[in-house]
Structure 1
Amino acid sequence: MQYFFMVAVGATLWGFWPLFLRPAGLTGVQNALLAMLTMALPTPFLLRREALKDRRATAALVIMGAADGINVALYFAAVNRGPVAVAVLTHYLAPLMVALVAPWVASERRSTRALVGAPFTSLGLALLVWKPGADFSGWTALLGSASAVLYTVSVFCAKEAARAWSPLGVTSVHSAVAVVTLLLLFGPSALPPVQPSALWVVAGAVLCSLTGNILFNAGLRRIPAASTGALTYMEPLTATLVGWVFLHEALGAMGLLGGALVLAMGLWVATEPRNSDSPLPSISGTS
C-alpha cells in the first residue's frame, strides 16, 4: 500500500505547478528553463562511460531532452494563459496518444480502448474549451495539445534511454539537454530576469518535479502497470482543483462534464491490461 501512496503523492505534487507559475510572472520558456535547470543540477555526477557507450540509448536521451524542453515550455505557457483545466487536460492527451501510436513505434499490442476512447476524448475537450459568451480558450488548448505531442515523443525516447541510464540519470541528463535546446531556440529571451519571483519556479521545480519524480519512480516498480497509469491522472485532477479553488477559475456545467469525460476516458485507457513492458506515461517533463 505504501508504494501506491508514493505514486499517488508524486503525481499529485505535479498538479501544484500552477501555484508556482502564476506568481512568478515569467514566460513559458523562462519557466521551463528554470525548471529544467533545477532538475539538471545532478547531471555531472550521473554521467557514466558505460551508459555513454550505448549510442542508441544516449541518442534517445538527447532527443528526449530536446522534445521535453519544448514540451514543458508549451505546457507552462498554456498554464500561464489559462484556464488551468484546459491546459492540463489537453496536455493529458499524451497517454491516449502513447496508446494509439505504440503499435507502430514500440511494436506493442493495439489498444482497443484507445481507439474507442479517442472520439469521446475529443468531445470532452470540445465541451471543456467551448464557453458561450466567454473568451475562447483555443490558444490554451492548442498549446496544451502541442505539448502532448512532444511529450509522447519523449515517452518512447525515455523507454529506449532507460536501457542504459538510471531513472535519475534519465531525469537529470535529459533536463540538461533541454536547457541547451531552449537556449539555442530562444536565445536571450529564454533567460529569466533576476528577480525574487523567479525563486517561485525554482521552489516549484524542487517540490513538484524532483520530489514528485523521486516519490513516483520509487513506487513505480512495486505496483501493477495498470494502477500506475490510473494514478498518473492525479495530476490533471489536482491541477484542475487548484485552478478552481486558488485561482478562482470557473468551469461551468459543460466544462465539468467535458473534464470528467476526458478523465474518465484517460483512466479507462490507462487501466486496459497491457504487456508488462508497455510505455506508461510519467509526466516528468511537466514535473
Structure 2
Amino acid sequence: MRSIDVRFFFLVAMGATLWGCWPLFLRPTGLSGPQSALLVMAVMALPTPFLLRREAFRDRRATLALGVLGVCDATNAALFFAAVQRGPVTVAVLTHYLAPLLIALAAPWVLRERRSARALLGAPLTLVGLALLLGTPQGGLADPRTALLGGGSALFFMANVLASKEASRAYSPLAINSLHAPISGVALLLVFGRDALPPALDSNLLLVVAGSVLCGIVGNSLFYAGLRRVPAASASALMYLEPLTGALLGQLVFGEALGPLGMLGGAIVLVSGVWVVSEPRAPVQEASVPTTGTG
C-alpha cells in the first residue's frame, strides 16, 4: 500500500480534457452516431498488429474485460456521438456524465473498492440538476432525445471504465485502447449494418480521423495510463473536465446558451458529481501488471 503519484491524476485529467474536444470534430461532419463511431474505432484499431502479446492473453479475467470493453464502447460511442450531433452539446455531455456517479455507486460491487456514502446523497442532487437543465427551453425537454441518448451512453461509459480498470491487470494503456476497437467495430456492423458505414471520399472523414487520433488514441491512452494507478471512483472526479470542456465549447464555438436555470442545473450536476467522487479514500495498491510488458 502506498500513496498515489500526482502524475497519474494529471494523466487522467489530460485524457478527460481531450475527450471534451470531441464536438469540435463531430458536429461539422453531419455523420450519424454509428458512422462516427465506426470510423473512430477503425482509426484506433490501427496499432493492433503491433500490440498482440501472448502473455497478456493468459490473464483470462483481463482478456474477458477487454472483450466487454469492446462491446460496451461500441454502444457508448454510437449513443454519445449521436447525442453530440443532435445537440445542444451541453445537454449531451452533462447527461453523458451521469457515468461518474454510476461508477461511484458500482465500484464497490464490481472492483471491491470502498463504498461511497456521498454517492447515495449525491444521486438525488444530480437528478435535481438534470431536471433544471432539461426543463429550460434550450435544454430540450420538448425533444428529449439528446438527453436520452446522452443518458444511455452514460450506462455504457460506466461499464467502459470498470472494464478497462480490470483489463489494465495485463494490458498496457495503448493495448487496451487499440485491441478493444476491432471488437467494437464488429459490434457496430452487426447492430447497424450498412447504416454504420460512412460515405466514401468525404472530406469530413479527415476531420473525424483527426479527432480519433487526438481525442481517441491520445486521450484514451493518457486516461488508461492514469487509471492503472488511480481508484476508479477517484478518477471519476477528474472526468468532469470533459463536460466542462464540452459545455465551454458549446457556449464559445457553437453559440449555445442555456439561460440562468439551465446554467444552475448544469452547475448542480457538476458540483454534486465532483463532491461524490472526490470523497477521501485510503491509498490503494497498484494494479498488477506483468513485468514482461504487453505493448
Could you tell me the TM-score, scaled by structure 1's length? 0.89
- Deviating more after overlay: 52-61 vs 250-259: 52-61
Residue of structure 1 aligned with 2:196, choices 190, 193, 196: 190
Q: 1:26 to 1:120 in 2, by over 3 A?
A: same
Percent identity among equivalent residues? 60
Per-residue deviation, residues 206-254 of structure 1 (Å, max 9, x unmatched): 1112222344445566789887443321110010010111111111101
After superposition, residues 225-236 of structure 1 pair within 5 angstroms as 228-236=235-243
1:50 and 1:220 map into 2 onto residues whose CA distance is 21
Residue of structure 2 aligned with 1:108, choices 106, 113, 133: 113
User: Contact conserved, 1:129 with 1:137, CA < 8 A, in 2?
Assistant: no
Q: 1:78 to 1:259 in 2, by over 3 A?
A: same
| RMSD between superposed Cα atoms in Å | 2.4
User: Paired residue for 1:260?
Assistant: 267
Number of matched pairs: 279
Q: 1:51 to 1:89 in 2, by over 3 A?
A: same
Offset, 1:275: 4.6
SS in 2 for 1:23: coil
Q: 1:207 to 1:74 in 2, by over 3 A?
A: same
After superposition, residues 158-197 of structure 1 pair within 5 angstroms as 158-194=164-200, 195-197=202-204
SS in 1 for 2:115: coil
Offset, 1:14: 1.2
Report whether the alignment pairs 1:131 with 2:136. yes
Any stretches of 5+ residues in structure 2 without a counterpart?
1-5, 286-295
Could you tell me the TM-score, scaled by structure 2's length? 0.87
Per-residue deviation, residues 182-211 of structure 1 (Å, max 9, x unmatched): 011111111100111111111111111222
Residue of structure 2 aligned with 1:27, choices 29, 32, 37: 32
Any stretches of 5+ residues in structure 1 without a counterpart?
279-287
Residue of structure 2 aligned with 1:238, choices 239, 245, 250: 245
Q: 1:4 to 1:274 in 2, by over 3 A?
A: closer
1:157 and 1:10 map into 2 onto residues whose CA distance is 17
Offset, 1:53: 2.0
User: Paired residue for 2:122?
Assistant: 117
1:157 and 1:7 map into 2 onto residues whose CA distance is 16
1:117 and 1:101 map into 2 onto residues whose CA distance is 14
Residue of structure 2 aligned with 1:143, choices 146, 149, 153: 149
- Deviating more after overlay: 218-227 vs 5-14: 218-227
Q: 1:217 to 1:133 in 2, by over 3 A?
A: closer
